[in-house]
Amino acid sequence: MDHRRLGRSGLMISEITYGNWLTHGELVGRDSALACIRAALDAGISTFDTADVYALGAAEEVLGEALRPVRRSSVEIATKVCLPTGDGPNDRGLSRKHIMESCHASLRRLGTDYVDLYQAHRFDERTPLDETLIAFDDLVRQGKVLYLGVSEWTAPQIRAALDLAEGIGLRSRIVANQPQYNMLWRVIEPEVLPLCRDEGIGQIVFQPLAQGVLTGKYLPGQPPPEGSRAASGGRAPRFIRRVLGDELLERVQRLRPLAEEAKLSMAQLAIAWTLSQDGISSAIIGATRPEQVTENAAAAGVRLSGELLAEIDGVLGDLVDRDPGKTAQMMSVKAAWHREQE
């Protein structure tokens, strides 16, 4: 497993991050989740991403249990705060109260004294930005958080946070951004990526497989295969339905010969594509079975040629979305991405 610096910080993270959104505590049981995390460790993955809101805390608990036998300094644990974790008016957002309470609850569930990376899961329009940044800075000063990040923030929001932190003399600054990014969804390319490259902010991107669609297992005109995320219960189908249009699936199938020529699986091609883009520090994978972890982790260290990257662009063509106005609006996909009947 290759490792990369997280932006301009001194923190090294694995090229593949293991994440547990929609899986641990929700789609898969405890034993399967523990097996997947063991497979991640066996593959050399050292970076693990979760959030307080995933399965209402159960995802953090499972991750903490799985990593308990591991030497703490050998892994990097990232979690997030902002999205609702309860029904109360202060059980959400980026107020000082919620940040502090959520961080302490996450540490307890994870069974650790600190997290390596603490991320603002979304931007909070209701809370003064200085209140948020000072609360994060205090957690860093207390040693409960080592590095700070954001997720799905727009370029102006990131710029405002950087300028404010410098203006009020905070000692910690944002070093990571966690956006959705893959071959199809490239909305961070026009604005977010250039800003982050200039400011030394690394990207830990989620959904490099576009909810599994880029693995090629979903076929045009056919129902989702049994056991797939699209055929499961819970919230997963709601997210994946947005990328099951026949036109999109047909175009994805045209990537298969390119993957075969490169001696890669479709999933490995998609992840390697993500890691080939400038400014990307790591790609987050999720899994319901250990063999998926092993396959996807093998994309680390793969370098795609410029010719192959150009061929991928040619295949996907006008289906690629680069609209920066859709940052943090993951459901706002192009019409051609949907199934016609939906």
Active site (catalytic) residues = 54
CA distance 53 to 287: 18
Which sign does the torsion angle of CA 291, 337, 280, 151 carry?
negative
DSSP state of 288: S
Q: 164: burial class by Cβ within 10 Å (0-12, 13-18, 19+)?
A: middle
**Partner residues linked to 19 by β-bridges:** 49
Rounded to a whole number of angstroms, the distance between the first and last alpha carbons of the chain is 40
Q: Are 321 and 40 in contact (CB under 8 A)?
A: no
Q: In degrees to the nearest 10, what's the CA dihedral of 312, 313, 319, 324?
A: 130
Instruction: Give the pairing type, strands 3-5 and 12-14.
Output: antiparallel
Q: Give CA–CA dist 58/112, Å, rounded.
A: 15
Contact (Cβ atoms closer than 8 angstroms) between residue 265 and residue 186 = no
Nearest residue to 81 (alpha-carbon basis) of 148, 168, 170, 158: 148
CB contact burial 316-334 (16+ within 10 A = b; e otherwise): beebbeeeeebbbebeebb
Cβ atoms 116, 146 nearer than 8 A: yes
Strands (E), 169-222: 174-178, 202-205
Instruction: Write the CB contacts of 143 (distance below 8 Å, at least 6 apart in sequence).
Output: 113, 114
